[in-house]
Amino acid sequence: MMTANHAQAMSSRVLCQVGLVVKDIEKSARAYADLFGLDVPAWTLTDPEDTAHTRYQGQPSPARAKLAFFSLGSVSLELIEPVGGPSTWQEFLTTRGEGVHHIAFEIEDMAGEVRMLAEKGMPLVQRGDYSGGQYAYIDSAAQLAVILELLQNDR
Amino acid sequence: MMTANHAQAMSSRVLCQVGLVVKDIEKSARAYADLFGLDVPAWTLTDPEDTAHTRYQGQPSPARAKLAFFSLGSVSLELIEPVGGPSTWQEFLTTRGEGVHHIAFEIEDMAGEVRMLAEKGMPLVQRGDYSGGQYAYIDSAAQLAVILELLQNDR
């Protein structure tokens, strides 16, 4: 066993979501619903730029996505179909095709966590607001083989 | 809301593991340990073919893998470095590079679940035994955008 430097670390170790980028959310939602014996969930569209304040690579972006969710134990499985761009979702679909885009953790100090991760060489790649909270995607693929998502919900 | 056919479905909806294929398990394990402020876990090597009875695409395979685990809430994060082949792990690394290879569910009737999934067009791609149980990987990427793993542990 080696001992890591624990001085700066994520405040949460509870994986709360697995996010998959797909080409056709209705087709994928039907496949998962059939797999699990569940009703097909309706998809929702992320908020437009003026509400979501979406920023990709530091610039405002009109990118949106269709989202659908399945509850699998304590983990939420999120299906994501990119709509327009530029976004981390669209970039993933273009460069890697369909697959698991991110794993998510709920945190309470977005600015502090983003700064800590940037100091570890994992910079912010996209952020946005949603009704009741905000999200941030972290460019951690080189280190962690997957993108991290931070979720901060309003109290 | 559309209604799915519930007649044949997975017996578990509890996502218990996320598996990532990586090139260098020691490097990846250090990165995750640093991220979460945990000690770096030791990796273990899967059993050899005569013990694990590894079969890939229906044929015996000498493929093995180095494995390391992190406990993230109720989900286990599994790091996998392929050692030799052929295997679903090696094929994923060759064709897609590092990334999330599978999501896993614990089930109790391996033969029945494998048959049900094959009837849905998702065939078995690899199976093997480990101390205390057995696993099966399902070629579900076309439908689900990720490989399924079934885990059945001895009672």
CB–CB of A18 and B100 under 8 A? yes
Whole-Å CA distances, B33 to A6, A64, A143, B65: 9, 33, 11, 20
> Is B3 a residue whose pLDDT tops 80?
no
What is the mean pLDDT of the segment spanning B104-124? 97
Q: What is the pTM of this model?
A: 0.95
Within 8 A of A8 by CB-CB distance, chain B residues are: 37
Give the one of B3, B74, B77 whose C-beta lies nearest to A73's C-beta. B74
Average pLDDT for A105-118 = 97
User: Which residues 86-145 in chain A show a CB within 8 A of chain B?
Assistant: 96-100, 103, 120, 141, 143-145
Give the closest-approach CA distance of A21 to chain B in angstroms. 8
**Predicted ipTM?**
0.94
Per-residue model confidence (pLDDT) at position A51: 96
For residue A124, pLDDT beyond 70: yes
pLDDT digits (tens, 9 = 90+) for A65-100: 999 999 999 999 999 999 999 999 999 999 999 999
Residues 6+ apart with CB under 8 A from B135: B104, B127, B128, B129, B149, B150, B151, B152
Contacts of A75 in chain B (CB under 8 A): 15, 74-75
Asked if pLDDT for residue B5 goes beyond 70, the answer is no
Q: Which stretch of DSSP H or E encloses residue A134?
A: strand A133-138
pLDDT at A7: 54
Q: Looking at CA atoms only, how far is residue B127 from chain A in angstroms?
A: 20
Q: Could you report the per-residue pLDDT of B141-152, keeping only the tens digit for each?
A: 999 999 999 999
**Are A2 and B38 in contact (CB < 8 Å)?**
no
